[in-house]
């Protein structure tokens, strides 16, 4: 689960490290340097594809509840593969490492027809067929992504490609919503050739994010406060924040310690060189991409309840009205009959070893299971953004999908 760029963490780090920025002119010059030397910094998904000479298409999918979800496609003649990003992120995550290391480019080079999903509410998918109020629009969590976005997306891709099945690669929240879809709408299991779940997130009993207890000890009150002040969206795209991250995450920045500390406190990344330092400004400038406050609350509820369950409504009997019981039901992941590969790590703060073992007990069709041991120090972000991602994740993913052709 990608708790990207938590403003609470930013405040702490900036307070502690403001003395590191000795010269504002140096920082400004550094920003100019990275803008000139790295032209990927401000490019969106379609622009990144164009820059590297890949064909690209934009497709709009309308869900049953009226949300407009935008997909980007790298068309090829091979079998379709759907890539699904983590929380607060976008299709950019599959592209920002460039053509030699990013999974979307590598899959396209291998001949696959690549489709990049963008969750409702992120910077690429903010449309709706009706003129909703902000409160109405943002009234969704990861459940609607799984029960509405993914089925509509999969049906659209299969129609467009005249195929009956597609392969699926999800990271973090992208695994959560896959499990939701196949639990709530089990007929979609038959439309999945194979699902590769990177850093799977379902149960969150052993979440190691250091601020999670602070955030959840008064979760009901925080949820009510957000509702009262109209805080429905979190971590929307912010060009000023993107530029800040690009500056401090440059290897030559006098303020790089801010980047190091943020990535440690956010993801447990002890060694920033586990990410490709030459691409770090590009990675940092493309996240976050926005999501609903309700999505973050839903994940935090899972930590509190120790269950992989539907959204818990506080007060007023809405749980009983919605679910027929005072407690929301758990997702029945034993319904996930599609063939699944799990790839996880012992040191992952968000896809914890113990929680992955719980998931394994319930999934009926695990074909492959890969667990990186703690000596590898392979953290959550590295499943998509890591310096070792090509050798440890992308090449094995491509070999597996080729084998299934």
Q: According to the 3-state scheme, what is the secondary structure of 181-241?
A: HHHHCHHHHHHEEEEEEECCCCCCCCCCCCCHHHHHCCHHHHHHHHHHHCCCEECCCCHHH
How many helical (H) and strand (E) elements, i.e. helices and strands, does the chain have? Answer: 19, 11
Torsion of CA 386, 168, 72, 105, to 10 degrees: 40
Active-site annotation holds for 380: yes
Which pLDDT tens digit goes with each residue over 284-305? 999 999 999 999 999 999 999 9
Written as one string, the DSSP assignment of 58-107 is EEEEE-TTSEEEEEEEE--SS-EEEEE--TT--GGGGTTT-TTT-HHHHH
Query: Does position 164 have pLDDT exceeding 90, yes or no?
Result: yes
Query: Residue 124 has what pLDDT?
Result: 98
pTM of the model: 0.92
Closest C-alpha to 61, from 32, 82, 39: 82
Which pLDDT tens digit goes with each residue over 211-223? 999 999 999 999 9
Given a contact cutoff of 8 angstroms between Cβ atoms, the answer to whether 103 and 383 are in contact is no
DSSP helix/strand/coil, 330: strand
Torsion of CA 286, 291, 297, 298, to 10 degrees: -110
Which pLDDT tens digit goes with each residue over 58-112? 999 999 999 999 999 999 999 999 999 999 999 999 999 999 999 999 999 999 9
Confidence of residue 404 (pLDDT cuts 50, 70, 90): confident
Higher pLDDT, 320 or 7: 320
Closest C-alpha to 75, from 114, 34, 39, 18: 114
Given a contact cutoff of 8 angstroms between Cβ atoms, the answer to whether 51 and 136 are in contact is no
Closest C-alpha to 84, from 202, 196, 193: 196
Closest C-alpha to 150, from 93, 74, 67: 67
Query: Does position 8 have pLDDT exceeding 50, yes or no?
Result: no
Query: Does position 194 have pLDDT exceeding 90, yes or no?
Result: yes
Query: Residue 362 has what pLDDT?
Result: 98
Query: Does position 13 have pLDDT exceeding 80, yes or no?
Result: no
Catalytically annotated residue among 85, 245, 312, 380: 380
Which pLDDT tens digit goes with each residue over 101-145? 999 999 999 999 999 999 999 999 999 999 999 999 999 999 999
Given a contact cutoff of 8 angstroms between Cβ atoms, the answer to whether 116 and 34 are in contact is no
Query: Does position 5 have pLDDT exceeding 90, yes or no?
Result: no
Average pLDDT over residues 305-309: 98
Active-site annotation holds for 172: yes
How long, in residues, is the chain?
405
Query: Residue 38 has what pLDDT?
Result: 61
- DSSP secondary structure letter of residue 310: P
- Percentage of the chain modeled with pLDDT above 90: 89
Given a contact cutoff of 8 angstroms between Cβ atoms, the answer to whether 285 and 245 are in contact is yes
Confidence of residue 167 (pLDDT cuts 50, 70, 90): very high
Q: Spell out the domain ranges in the chain.
A: 7-404
β-pairing verdict for 127-128 and 233-234: unpaired
Query: Residue 12 has what pLDDT?
Result: 35
- Percentage of the chain modeled with pLDDT above 70: 91
Average pLDDT over residues 361-370: 98
Q: How far is CA 287 from CA 6, 248, 377, 395, in A?
A: 11, 14, 23, 24
**Superfamily of structural domain 7-404:** Alpha/Beta hydrolase fold, catalytic domain (3.40.50.1820)
CB under 8 Å to 335, separation ≥6 — which residues? 182, 183, 186, 189
Which pLDDT tens digit goes with each residue over 42-54? 999 999 999 999 9
Catalytically annotated residue among 45, 102, 147, 172: 172
Query: Does position 35 have pLDDT exceeding 90, yes or no?
Result: no
DSSP helix/strand/coil, 172: coil
**CA 379 distance to own-chain centroid:** 14
Q: Give the span between the Cα atoms of 220 and 199, in whole angstroms.
A: 28
Q: Give the span between the Cα atoms of 344 and 370, in whole angstroms.
A: 6
């Amino acid at each position: 689960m990608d708790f990207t760029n938590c403003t609470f963490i930013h405040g702490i780090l900036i307070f502690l490290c403001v003395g590191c920025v000795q010269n504002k002119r140096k920082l400004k010059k550094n920003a100019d340097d990275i803008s000139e030397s790295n032209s990927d910094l401000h490019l969106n998904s379609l622009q990144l594809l164009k820059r590297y000479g890949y064909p690209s298409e934009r497709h709009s999918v309308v869900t049953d509840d009226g949300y407009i979800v935008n997909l980007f496609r790298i068309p090829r003649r091979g079998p379709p593969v759907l890539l699904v990003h983590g929380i607060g992120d976008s299709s950019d995550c599959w592209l920002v490492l460039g053509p030699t290391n990013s999974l979307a480019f590598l899959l396209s080079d291998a001949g696959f027809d690549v489709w990049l999903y963008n969750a409702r509410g992120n910077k690429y998918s903010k449309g709706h067929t009706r003129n909703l109020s902000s409160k109405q629009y943002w009234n969704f969590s990861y459940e609607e992504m799984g029960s509405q976005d993914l089925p509509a997306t999969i049906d659209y891709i299969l129609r467009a490609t005249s195929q009956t099945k597609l392969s699926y690669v999800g990271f973090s929240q992208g695994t959560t919503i896959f499990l939701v879809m196949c639990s709530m709408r089990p007929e979609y299991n038959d439309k999945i050739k194979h699902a590769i779940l990177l850093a799977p997130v379902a149960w969150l009993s052993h979440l190691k994010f250091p601020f999670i207890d602070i955030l959840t000890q008064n979760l009901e009150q925080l949820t009510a406060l957000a509702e009262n002040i109209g805080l429905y969206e979190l971590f929307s795209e912010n060009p000023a924040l993107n530029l800040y991250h690009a500056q401090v995450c440059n290897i030559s920045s006098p303020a790089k310690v801010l980047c190091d500390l943020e990535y440690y406190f956010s993801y447990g990344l002890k060694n920033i060189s586990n990410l490709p330092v030459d691409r770090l400004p590009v990675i940092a400038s493309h996240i976050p991409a926005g999501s609903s406050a309700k999505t973050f609350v839903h994940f935090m509820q899972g930590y509190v309840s120790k269950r992989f369950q539907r959204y818990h409504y506080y007060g007023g009997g809405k749980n009983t009205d919605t679910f027929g019981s005072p407690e929301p039901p758990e997702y029945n992941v034993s319904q996930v009959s599609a063939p699944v590969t799990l790839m996880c790590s012992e040191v992952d703060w968000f896809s914890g070893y113990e929680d992955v073992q719980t998931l394994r007990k319930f999934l009926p069709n695990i074909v492959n299971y890969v667990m990186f041991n703690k000596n590898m120090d392979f953290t959550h972000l590295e499943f998509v953004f890591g310096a070792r991602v090509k050798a440890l994740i992308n090449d094995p993913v491509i070999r597996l999908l080729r084998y299934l052709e």
